[in-house]
Structure 1
Amino acid sequence: MTGRGDWFGDKEERRSYHHGRLKDALVEAARRLVAERGLAGFTLADAAKLVGVTAAAPYRHFSDRNALVEEMARRGFEQFGERLHKAWDLGQPNPRTALARMGEAYLDFARQEPGLYSAMFSNIQTLSAPAPGTAATKALDVLRTAAQVTIEASVPGPADGRELAFRLWAYAHGVATLTLAGHLDPAFEGGDPGHVLRQGSAALIDAAIKRAQAISR
Structure 2
Amino acid sequence: MRKRGYHHGNLRQALVESALGLIEAKGPTGFTLSEAAKQAGVTPAAVYRHFEGREDLIAEAAKQGFAMFADLMQHAYEKYQPSALAAFEATGRAYLAFARKHPGHYIAMFESGISVNRTPELADAAARARRILEKAAADLSQHIPAEKRPPAAMFSAHIMALSHGVVELYARNTPGATSPFSPEDLLESGIMIYLRGLGLIEPDK
- What interval of TM-score do these two structures reach, taking the shorter chain for normalisation? 0.7 to 0.9
- % identical aligned pairs: 33
Q: Which moved more, 1:86-95 or 1:34-43?
A: 86-95
Residue 155 of structure 2 is matched in structure 1 by 164
The letter for the 2-side match of 1:47 is A
Q: Which moved more, 1:97-106 or 1:143-152?
A: 97-106
2:183 to 193, 211, 215: 193
Residue 174 of structure 1 is matched in structure 2 by 165
Distance 2:32 2:77 in 1: 37
Query: Which structure has greater helix proportion?
Result: 1
Q: The residue matched to 2:44 in structure 1 has which SS?
A: coil
Aligned-residue CA RMSD in angstroms? 2.4
Tell me the TM-score normalized by structure 1.
0.81
2:131 to 131, 136, 141: 141
* Structure 2: stretches of 5+ with no match in the other structure: 201-205
Tell me the TM-score normalized by structure 2.
0.86
Residue 91 of structure 2 is matched in structure 1 by 102
Residue 214 of structure 1 is matched in structure 2 by none
Tell me if structure 2 keeps the 8 A contact 1:168–1:201. Answer: yes
Report how far residue 99 of structure 1 moved: 1.1
Larger radius of gyration between Structure 1 and Structure 2 = 1
- Aligned residue pairs total 196
Tell me if structure 2 keeps the 8 A contact 1:164–1:205. Answer: no
Give CA-to-partner distance per residue, 1:29-86, whole Å, 9 cap, x none: 1111111222222211111001110011110000000000110110000100110000
Distance 1:88 1:167 in 2: 18
* Structure 1: stretches of 5+ with no match in the other structure: 9-13, 211-217
Tell me if structure 1 keeps the 8 A contact 2:59–2:114. Answer: no
Give CA-to-partner distance per residue, 1:163-211, whole Å, 9 cap, x none: 1101001110111122343149xx8423x1000000111122232346x
The letter for the 2-side match of 1:148 is A
> 1:65 aligned to 2:58?
no
Q: The residue matched to 1:56 in structure 2 has which SS?
A: helix
User: Structure 1 143/107 Cα, relative in aligned 2: closer, same or farther at 3 Å?
Assistant: same
Q: The residue matched to 1:74 in structure 2 has which SS?
A: helix
Residue 40 of structure 2 is matched in structure 1 by 51
